[in-house]
Amino acid sequence: MKRKRDDMEIVWQTPANPPERHDYIFLNGRRHVRPYYFEFISHVKNRWAGKTIVDLFAEEFKGRPYEYYVSAVKSGRIQVDGQIVPVSYIVRSSQKLSHFLHRHEPPTMACDISILQKETDVLTVCKPASIPVHPCGQYRKNTVVGILQAEDGLAPLFPIHRLDRLVSGLLILARSAAKADLFRQQIEAGKVKKQYIAKVIGVFPEDEVRDCCGNNPLNGKAACTKFTRISTSGSHSIVLCEPITGRTHQIRVHLQYIGHPIGNDALYMSESGAARSTEGLTADRAAIKSGSSLGSNFSGINSIHKHEENPNDDFSIDPMCTNCPSLIPKGYEELEEGLWLHCVRYCGPDWFYECPYPDWASLS
């Protein structure tokens, strides 16, 4: 879709526009996305009906000031059913809302995504920490799926399991919807086992530890993890973690509970960490708000991207954008690195995939 601005023709992207290699800027060890014009589409929920278009956006999408939404409606950057409306317009249930904006994505660490195995219907990679798996929130192109499509031409890809943004390691992606469904059926049937390694504080017990939070479940659900010490230096230990269930932050919560939190986990190294995580903050944002920082997680598996840094690369400055002229969106200025938590193995009834250990797993 194209629209004219006073000094240029704007090309608005939608989720149908694939990421491309030239979309990325590498600067100071971080991978940035060149800001781009994007159409966010949503539909009026029943609880939104009856509000003015400006009040709806100001109340439901709090990332920008009220005055911005007034200007966006007046200029046609916000439309209803494809039409420009007055700021006093009252929305009705199910109407289509379009928000045309200058999109800035948060940066990630500038690491390559190492391809481990490339089969006809399955791709496995070593996911670097700091990069989300698939589009979510403010991330769209700066994701594993987006980068693999832009740099390796690999699409479509269907992630078959979760891996938190700050966690590294094995990621399995199906190359067809049918293969993805087969994996998901096996996971839901409890036929898939997974293993992680973590670097924790202190001397972890030599005997196997099994932590099952039946009386104090995570988010109201029972959770269980088996831990086995691999090695220890006295100050830190490398621990094999085998989740029996799959809950959000399960390994991190259980390690904190048994007194050996992950050594650079700013969220769960304090007693208030679990409480903060249930207040709606992601782990990384909560850690930044608390003033903590995460330790380094660079490893030899995911090398720094071979692309030369391009500090002089220009990007369009939009006069209405609340992030310009900065390349980085507000709230993401801090450099975030990865946790000492790494997925090493997934196995099913007749298959298994593995990922090498990261550098931090050596205590020598």
How many angstroms separate the Cα of 120 from the Cα of each of 57, 172, 173, 228, 263? 45, 13, 11, 35, 39
Contacts of 190 (CB under 8 A, 6+ apart): none
Both structure tokens of 360 = 């931090």
User: Lowest mean pLDDT: which of 44-53, 237-246, 286-295, 338-347?
Assistant: 286-295
Question: Which residue would you say has higher pLDDT here, 106 or 277?
Answer: 106
- Residue closest to 155 by CA, chosen among 177, 128, 140: 177
- C-alpha 19/C-alpha 142 separation (Å) is 9
User: Lowest mean pLDDT: which of 95-99, 141-145, 254-258, 344-348?
Assistant: 254-258
How many angstroms separate the Cα of 170 from the Cα of each of 127, 160, 248, 364? 6, 11, 17, 24
* Contact (Cβ atoms closer than 8 angstroms) between residue 249 and residue 225: no
Q: What are phi and psi of 343, to 5 degrees?
A: -80, 125
23 catalytically annotated: no
pLDDT in tens, 15-36: 778 999 999 999 989 999 999 9
- C-alpha 132/C-alpha 274 separation (Å) is 22
Residue percentage of the chain with pLDDT more than 70 = 82
Mean pLDDT across 215-232 = 76
End-to-end CA distance of the chain: 57
* Contact (Cβ atoms closer than 8 angstroms) between residue 156 and residue 173: no
- C-alpha 279/C-alpha 219 separation (Å) is 11
DSSP conformational letter for 49: T
Task: Evaluate if residue 344 carries a pLDDT over 70.
Answer: yes
Task: Evaluate if residue 224 carries a pLDDT over 50.
Answer: yes
Mean pLDDT across 127-143 = 94
pLDDT in tens, 48-92: 999 999 999 999 998 899 999 999 999 999 999 999 999 999 999
Strand partners, 51: none
Contacts of 192 (CB under 8 A, 6+ apart): 183, 186, 346, 347, 348
Res 297: pLDDT: 43
What is the pLDDT confidence band of residue 219, given thresholds at 50, 70 and 90?
low
- C-alpha 49/C-alpha 51 separation (Å) is 6
- C-alpha 17/C-alpha 22 separation (Å) is 14
- C-alpha 246/C-alpha 361 separation (Å) is 23
User: Lowest mean pLDDT: which of 51-60, 185-194, 274-283?
Assistant: 274-283
What is the pLDDT confidence band of residue 347, given thresholds at 50, 70 and 90?
very high
Chain Cα centroid distance, residue 135: 8
Mean pLDDT across 126-143 = 94
Across the chain, mean pLDDT equals 85
Res 15: pLDDT: 77
* Contact (Cβ atoms closer than 8 angstroms) between residue 307 and residue 21: no
DSSP conformational letter for 124: E
How many angstroms separate the Cα of 125 from the Cα of each of 109, 159, 170, 171, 194? 16, 11, 6, 5, 15
Strands 168-174 and 341-347: parallel
* Contact (Cβ atoms closer than 8 angstroms) between residue 23 and residue 105: no
User: Lowest mean pLDDT: which of 110-114, 180-184, 268-272?
Assistant: 268-272
Spot the catalytic one: 23, 112, 164, 318. Answer: 164
Q: What is the pTM of this model?
A: 0.83
